[in-house]
Structure 1
């Protein structure tokens, strides 16, 4: 059935209204949704709900893209990628609970402790991604970069601005504490950031050093004690003691190479009589 001039005019007005209200995805989907409404005999309410759901989904997708861009995550890792069989000390039920983001409501911190290569950063990235997907802002940095940024801010007179930046996200990830030697002012900068967020918003921190050695890491036992007092007040501590992923992958590649090379070597070492030389 050919639409009348009046119907065509109202249709165009509706598209114009949607564009004027800055609902471009709903405007683009309008003809498809109207055709579906006729075919499926949708009510006016159902038709409008379907139309605006398209706009809502598109808006949330754009916002998520923006939150992930701000998050500065170093990899696309997700919690679903984590190999719990390789790290049996990590409780899948606990990680699933943390993935719900409930800990953000009580400004609870997460401390991931373990040697290099056991998946601490992967878990931190995966949890940060869940924060972004849950509609919250998160930001990923490592301890050395945070200290350097705070040092530059102090020199350039931007200390207060930098502290507000680190205090802003619902979840701040501080990676690799203890991996690199930190300058003298790093302990103070790290304490100030933790103190700004204390009882207000969550921190996820990864470290290869037990908390008993943080005085050595920060070069100041007093500051380390004060920092740990605030960090551990409300916290979930996950101690990972399994084998390094990287070392295990390296061993697997070595074993595969050895199995590939040995048959070829055996073939080359045969004499014309068929005996090995």
Structure 2
């Protein structure tokens, strides 16, 4: 009996959550006098089922994440040739997901078109591929979500839903102003994510530096100082440069009307 194959089968049964029923598997294999070829076949079948399970989990996480599926933003699809500076390796190393495992927040700050949202979405997608729950929402959508929660009296369930993801991505801070109720819900969410067990990373994008963010929340300074909690343990990427949107844009100038030659012939 091959110990390596038996261990592989055990690992697969654990992955499939049927390990409890497989404790007597070695005795069964011995009693049935199963050949190495038969064991390999069982191992391959279980391995295939694990692959299918993993693919289904990832597909479900991606669907729930609100990240684009038809034209996904990936790290492989980001043009690193436009990035220069001594700290470019930190940007390239984002794919390791070290921030989410270290419970650190991320922020991508810079003008429009430099790739902030692309990087944030790529990070969320990588989380899903590693079976970590991610959720993407624009700041304007989050603001409306809070307004609706107050209106219909389901503030608790709304915040609970935003606390659960291992990685919460809030895009375009500075595009709207949160009223007092929404501001309080925002910082309740931040506080609860800060104190939750397990991965609790938040990713922000904005064209405003963090020291200007208080302008977009409506509360007194004692509550607004909670903004500091976001950056207690965080990495902020300040991205400068020209927009790379429209690099493949082709402009064709044309005119309408009769030619001058046609007019002269009349």
Q: Is the TM value for this pair above 0.5?
A: yes
Corresponding residue for 2:230? 231
Corresponding residue for 2:174? 178
Corresponding residue for 2:44? 50
Give the distance between the partners of 2:225 and 2:175, measured in 1 at CA: 21
How far residue 212 of structure 1 moved from its aligned partner, in angstroms, is 1.9
1:96-135 equivalences under 5 Å are 96-135=92-131
How far residue 140 of structure 1 moved from its aligned partner, in angstroms, is 0.5
How far residue 210 of structure 1 moved from its aligned partner, in angstroms, is 0.8
1:64-75 equivalences under 5 Å are 64-74=58-68, 75=71
Structure 2: runs of 5+ lacking an equivalent: 1-15, 19-34, 262-266
> Contact (CA 8 Å) 1:142, 1:176: kept in 2 or not?
yes
In structure 2, the CA distance between the partners of 1:85 and 1:148, relative to structure 1 (3 Å rule), is same
How far residue 68 of structure 1 moved from its aligned partner, in angstroms, is 0.4
Tell me the number of residue pairs that the alignment of Structure 1 and Structure 2 aligns: 224
In structure 2, the CA distance between the partners of 1:175 and 1:90, relative to structure 1 (3 Å rule), is farther
How far residue 195 of structure 1 moved from its aligned partner, in angstroms, is 1.3
Give the distance between the partners of 1:148 and 1:227, measured in 2 at CA: 21
Give the distance between the partners of 1:123 and 1:226, measured in 2 at CA: 27
In structure 2, the CA distance between the partners of 1:167 and 1:55, relative to structure 1 (3 Å rule), is same
In structure 2, the CA distance between the partners of 1:51 and 1:92, relative to structure 1 (3 Å rule), is farther
SS of the aligned residue for 2:158 comes to helix
Give the distance between the partners of 1:48 and 1:184, measured in 2 at CA: 60
How far residue 192 of structure 1 moved from its aligned partner, in angstroms, is 1.8
Corresponding residue for 1:190? 186
> Contact (CA 8 Å) 1:147, 1:185: kept in 2 or not?
no
Matched, 1:161 2:160: no
In structure 2, the CA distance between the partners of 1:161 and 1:140, relative to structure 1 (3 Å rule), is same
> Contact (CA 8 Å) 1:78, 1:126: kept in 2 or not?
yes
In structure 2, the CA distance between the partners of 1:92 and 1:59, relative to structure 1 (3 Å rule), is farther
Give the distance between the partners of 1:162 and 1:225, measured in 2 at CA: 21
Measured on the aligned residues, the alpha-carbon RMSD in Å equals 3.0
How far residue 165 of structure 1 moved from its aligned partner, in angstroms, is 0.4
Give the distance between the partners of 1:117 and 1:123, measured in 2 at CA: 12
Structure 1: runs of 5+ lacking an equivalent: 1-20, 24-40, 271-277
In structure 2, the CA distance between the partners of 1:42 and 1:97, relative to structure 1 (3 Å rule), is farther
In structure 2, the CA distance between the partners of 1:154 and 1:73, relative to structure 1 (3 Å rule), is same
Matched, 1:253 2:247: no
**Per-residue deviation, residues 182-219 of structure 1 (Å, max 9, x unmatched):** 44443323222211111531101111101121122224
Higher Rg: 1
| TM-score, reference length from structure 2 | 0.74
Matched, 1:211 2:210: yes
**Per-residue deviation, residues 90-144 of structure 1 (Å, max 9, x unmatched):** 9553234332222222321001101111111000110000000001111110111
